[in-house]
Chain A
């Protein structure tokens, strides 16, 4: 290969100049029918480096890393590990070469314990093995890599952050020297993000290499040594992090600068109040399947033309609140009023017909059929009315037209509306769901973590959409872990803690401190 090196291809400053890269990609290309996912991508990663991979939704980041880990085969180009050209016919070959990946969607067995998950596919499994042995080994691994876990806990009972630690530990315990993380912080609380980053820094100081994909630029600026930017499948640049700013990165990613507004002033004056509440909860309590109380005596009223922000650490009852507000779950006690009428059965169809849209937290599992086409997925909310369908009929041609229209509006480029939606990039799936839901949300829109997985351009567009819906008189419920987002959009802010509503206050009266105190379960009187 040509031995021209320019500064960005050199190892990061803290490494010796002649350090050989652990991974080198040369002119990698990967094509899907009608899509150039990657082309001419050349990149190197050094041991002792944290390398960030940035790009818009659909830029080809996940695909590139799937090529590196043997999940996909490159259509052109070379993968060089420690100076030797290699091919990975399957992921186990990549694991054997010391490359491990933690995917955006976790791949653990929910019913198994942490220790069992850690040892799945363990190549040196001895003949006899007791539950205690693997738990001991799991504890040893946890100490060795500095990632605290509970070996005997069942995975389904863990928080997202804990599950992720198990995934990382599993990869590291197989001797990974290059750790690839695809949007690892999207589902973590701020504390968990801090823990993850210190584990990654420790891994780096021991000579490990990390490639991290993220849309959160401030995190990248704080963590990465170098950043590479992909755009429409091609590498547009690799930089030392100290040479760039978040703004310059955004411009490189999207082609124009984007800044997120800190407030979204109304285009028309706020409704005077006194209008009917489209949806309200009176002393609603909800338990999960295990009988644990998830929502505890919550009373809440939505107002038309207003954004109600729901702040709270993840896992404090947000999914259940979204489910009762959209008719997916019935309240165990208390009453849900839809347009003033009690609606105590779980009847999502009735809520949808009353103009309640829902962008659920787990869009892939809840709101999409991964194996069906984009057209069929986009028709999900309007298949029962013209032009797509009627009482008995369904028109695929109309569904395709409709899907194309939504995709154009969401700024998603499609290779066709007949492709399976699971072939779209994570962010593009999110954009399409949002577009679909906002159309039917004529009265209420419940948006759970709508910015997860979106690039900054798409987040900005999403917030504009929410503000427009608000101006049009829709009652918007916005759940987010990002307080900036809550403060930028909300008219009122409610805080959930352990399933209880700690308080609802006007945006004007709220400040970060009081919200933060409520989020950690302290009452304002105590906090003061």
Chain B
């Protein structure tokens, strides 16, 4: 018989297979990176040591990881709530900007005490994120217009708007920093070094979201709408308002990511503030698959990748190489998931 035995694809892949597949594929990707670095005349072992020391191996490294994780958990959650019901919010980047802008407005132009200003920033940012997706959401819910294209296009609008504000009307006249506003009057309290309250809040939001959707009527009704809209109609569940609600929730989560960025990490509104967190949220959500709680380790992995990239850049490795490494890892994980679905056909 042939040397290669035939394989077949499982429809439901057990999670231990996924774990093994991902582990192997990450190793394979790291191997490719090591070989490439060696070919460039760099010592992969030395670099690996440096990366470990400056990420998980040091206090600053860990603080950085937590700061990266904060927005990633939230944009990941934003994309994840949509995918759960078959909706694709590709616009988390834009909603993040919207949330950041609203929070900045409160932080710059009010002189309220922190205890009032911070909650006001959170509410304003969440509302702004939701408002930024309102038109794509309503068009999807009632007219069936694909939310993918509309939410994506608004990202560019949001990004340019923030550049305009940060260089124009809201530009920093004090220090004259480029494309940036002044420092906000209030900040989220810091808990551990640079790690601020936003990290804990983001963790809490992800956990609350997971528990809330599993235990609420809203979670059940939206699951029905996502799985089979015809059956939802049959059961008397109105599909359009629930599509709207899920997308608004998604926008609000991404908006919160923007709030925590300006109020905790960056302290000002800057051009490029979103730092691709909105797009990386898609990766985080896909890595988490069906489970909301899995967003936390997925965000950690993504943060590690980002942090590694920055460390490598400090050693004169070009930023495009870093992007390539990121892409390679994500590709390897996707391939690993796919390969984990194939089992050898058993012949007796």
Contacts and interface: CB of A to CB of B under 8 A. Distances in A.
Interface of A: 73-78, 87, 89-90, 327-328, 347-353, 358, 360, 365-372, 376, 379-381, 383-384, 389-396, 420
A352 B235 contact: yes
B217 A384 contact: yes
A350 B220 CA distance: 19
B284 to A, nearest CB: 22
B59 interface: no
B227 A370 contact: yes
Contacts of A352: 235-236
B223 A380 contact: no
A391 B217 contact: yes
Given A75-B346, A347-B236, A366-B230, A89 B6 contact: yes
Contact of B227 (A76, A371, A381, A391): A371
Interface in B224-243: 224, 227-228, 230-231, 233-237
Given A376-B223, A392-B216, 10 more contacts: A87-B6, A87-B345, A89-B7, A351-B236, A368-B228, A368-B231, A372-B223, A376-B220, A376-B224, A395-B215
A393 B236 CA distance: 18
Given A90-B8, A349-B236, A350-B236, A394 B217 contact: yes
Contacts of B346: 73-76
Per CB-CB distance, the 7 closest pairs between chain A and chain B, nearest first, are: A349-B236, A89-B6, A369-B227, A348-B236, A394-B220, A369-B228, A394-B217
Nearest to B225: A369
A78 B234 CA distance: 45
B340 to A, nearest CB: 17
Nearest to B14: A33
Nearest to A72: B8
Interface residues of B, number: 28
B316 interface: no
A316 to B, nearest CB: 22
Nearest to A358: B234
Contacts of A89: 6-8, 345
B248 to A, nearest CB: 18
B215 A394 contact: yes
Contacts, number: 90
Contacts of B218: 392
Given A348-B236, A350-B236, A372 B224 contact: yes
B339 to A, nearest CB: 15
A365 B232 CA distance: 11
A353 to B, nearest CB: 8
Contacts of B233: 328, 348
Contact of B231 (A351, A367, A395, A420): A367
Nearest to B6: A89
Interface string B324-347: 000000000000000000010111
Interface of B: 6-8, 12, 214-221, 223-224, 227-228, 230-231, 233-237, 343, 345-348
Contacts of A350: 236
Contacts of B227: 369-372
A238 to B, nearest CB: 22
A348 B229 CA distance: 13
Nearest to B232: A369
A383 B217 contact: yes
Contacts of A328: 233-234
Contacts of A327: 236
Given A89-B8, A348-B234, A380-B231, A73 B220 contact: no
7 contacts: A348-B236, A366-B231, A367-B234, A369-B228, A380-B235, A383-B220, A384-B217
Contacts of B228: 365, 368-371
Nearest to A380: B235
A123 B219 CA distance: 46
Contacts of B237: 349
Contacts of A77: 348
Nearest to A419: B12
A218 to B, nearest CB: 33
Nearest to A85: B347
A94 to B, nearest CB: 12
Nearest to A396: B214
Contacts of B235: 348-349, 352, 380-381
Contacts of B231: 365-369, 380
A233 to B, nearest CB: 18
B220 A389 contact: yes
B342 to A, nearest CB: 10
Most buried by B among A75, A366, A379, A380: A380
A394 B216 contact: yes
A18 B218 CA distance: 65
A86 B346 CA distance: 12
Nearest to A352: B236
A395 B211 CA distance: 11
Contacts of A87: 6, 345, 347
A449 B129 CA distance: 49
A352 B233 CA distance: 11
Contacts of B221: 383
A90 B8 CA distance: 7
Contacts of A380: 224, 231, 235
A450 to B, nearest CB: 16
A350 B227 CA distance: 22
B343 to A, nearest CB: 8
A393 B215 CA distance: 6
Contacts of B345: 73, 87, 89
Nearest to A389: B217
Nearest to A70: B8
A380 B345 CA distance: 38
Contacts of A384: 217
A483 to B, nearest CB: 28
A408 B220 CA distance: 24
A271 to B, nearest CB: 28
A383 B216 CA distance: 10
Contacts of A353: 236
Contacts of A76: 346, 348
Contacts of A349: 235-237
A78 B7 contact: no
Nearest to A377: B231
Nearest to B234: A366
Contacts of A379: 220
Given A90-B8, A360-B234, A380-B231, A78 B220 contact: no
Contacts of A392: 216-218
A457 B187 CA distance: 70
B221 to A, nearest CB: 8
A305 B272 CA distance: 70
Nearest to B237: A349
B227 to A, nearest CB: 4
Contacts of A393: 215-217
Most buried by A among B214, B216, B227: B227
B224 A394 contact: no
A383 B236 CA distance: 12
Nearest to A399: B220
Contacts of A391: 217
A28 B219 CA distance: 42
